[in-house]
Amino acid sequence: MNFFKATLLSFLSLVIFFNTFSQSSKSTSNDKAAGKILTGQLAPTPPMGFNTWNTFQTKINENMLKDMVDVFVSSGMRESGYQYFVLDDGWMAMERDQNGSLIADPVKFPHGMKAFADYVHSKGLKFGIYNCAGSKTCAGYPGTRGHEYEDARLYASWGVDFLKYDWCNTDSLNTPEAYKTMSAALKATGRPIVFSICEWGGHSPWLWAGGIGELYRTTGDIGLSFFANKNYGNWEAQSVISILDKQIPIRKYNGPNHWNDPDMLEVGNGMTYNEDKAHFSLWCMLAAPLAAGNDLRKMSTQTRDILTNKEMIAIDQDARGISAFKMVMPDSLEMWVKPLKNNELAICFLNRTGSSKKIDMDWKDFNLSDAQSGLEIHFDNQYFSLRDLWLKKDAGKTDKKLVREIASHEVIVFKLSPVVK
Ligand code: GLA
């Protein structure tokens, strides 16, 4: 089979467009000397954590969440790099108090939010919370509009380290301005708080969010489906594949401290093992934030092994922060390529079709070229060793043909390291 030489097409990667962001990560030595919080530097690699929404929606409470925090540690997730324990919508009482302050729902959190934040911190984790730029959150709880500075001060007093900020009930608000206001309010607290912008990609946040927040959602909400979107009447849940495809044209905007966020993980929530493995791998290939969204207390060994695959996580967390580009292959197979530091790279073969396929390829028949990262590989005169990141074993070199079965909705992921001849 020699299809590759002529047919591999890179869809992306002609121009580097980092100008928009280059200012955001700069700081002066004066700032450092003054001990100021250096904005735009809170997420040099994609943030990793857990978020309550995908499994629990607003049905959360202190006791079950404390159990979840405990499993976050005992399951090895903390040790694998997950850091943020984030409460999504539904944590607060339905009304602000007489002073206009948000309060934690007293039934769900009888000891208050500061006590819960302290518990999260006592386990060596960081604490995240949710609100919304509008008058109400998406689930109808009090929103932040008009209360930005006081809410930010409250969060800082509780020890919040991460704020997810949604976009429901915003009427005529100007999107970048609303997020700028909250970003300034967070910065004014003096506490480093990662700002997670969640306006679903409708206002192209990749063009303006660098320096305002560290991550920004790029699509509508993910649903529990690998291939097809699910229509719920007034909204459409995005499948893994549909979200993946939407990342292609915005790849160039992704990078340290300004991450394209393709939404939280559905791993462990009901897709097949191969689909979960593919979903996780593809998010790592995208250099995406990794927010587990499953019930940690009930996760199977398989789910835990996916979420804590350290070699796969290392691809996500690679210091260069470059998102993968896609190459099309014969027979509807795809190859996603992520340039890494030290001239290494990750290659993820994806079979998004409904039937099993065979990969049968001679590496030396093709080249890889990516203007954005400067990647230029000619496999006929450069050798790489192959490490299979799911079998967790070495898999020979690129001097031999690669022949493998790849099941429907499966991925095979290799890390390639240069070998001196
Ligand atoms: C929106 C967000 C979700 C979640 C819910 C909470 O739909 O996109 O991720 O935060 O609101 O109501």
What is the pLDDT, as a whole number, of residue 41? 86
What is the pLDDT, as a whole number, of residue 72? 98
Atom 5 of ligand 1, nearest CA residue? 138
Asked if 187 contacts 178 with a C-beta cutoff of 8 angstroms, the reply is no
Pairing of strands 411-419, 345-351: antiparallel
Going from the Cα of 89 to the center of ligand 1, the distance in angstroms, rounded, reads 7
Asked if 255 contacts 321 with a C-beta cutoff of 8 angstroms, the reply is yes
Tokens 């998406």, located at residue = 138
Atom 1 of ligand 1, nearest CA residue? 138
Atom 6 of ligand 1, nearest CA residue? 89
Q: Which residues are catalytic?
A: 166, 221
Decide whether any atom of ligand 1 lies within 6 Å of the 89 Cβ: yes
Contacts of 313 (CB under 8 A, 6+ apart): 48, 80, 81, 284, 290
What is the pLDDT, as a whole number, of residue 19? 28
Substitution site in 129, 163, 166, 269 for ligand 1 pocket (most atoms within 8 Å of beta carbon): 166
Atom 3 of ligand 1, nearest CA residue? 221
Output the tens digit of pLDDT for each of the chain's 421 residues.
333 433 343 332 222 222 222 323 333 344 443 334 445 689 999 999 999 999 999 999 999 999 999 999 999 999 999 999 999 999 999 999 999 999 999 999 999 999 999 999 999 999 999 999 999 999 999 999 999 999 999 999 999 999 999 999 999 999 999 999 999 999 999 999 999 999 999 999 999 999 999 999 999 999 999 999 999 998 999 999 999 999 999 999 999 999 999 999 999 999 999 999 999 999 999 999 999 999 999 999 999 999 999 999 999 999 999 999 999 899 999 999 999 999 999 999 999 999 999 999 999 998 999 999 999 999 999 999 999 999 999 999 999 999 999 999 999 999 999 998 6
Going from the Cα of 283 to the center of ligand 1, the distance in angstroms, rounded, reads 19
What is the pLDDT, as a whole number, of residue 165? 98
What is the pLDDT, as a whole number, of residue 23? 29
Substitution site in 56, 58, 89, 263 for ligand 1 pocket (most atoms within 8 Å of beta carbon): 89
Going from the Cα of 313 to the center of ligand 1, the distance in angstroms, rounded, reads 25
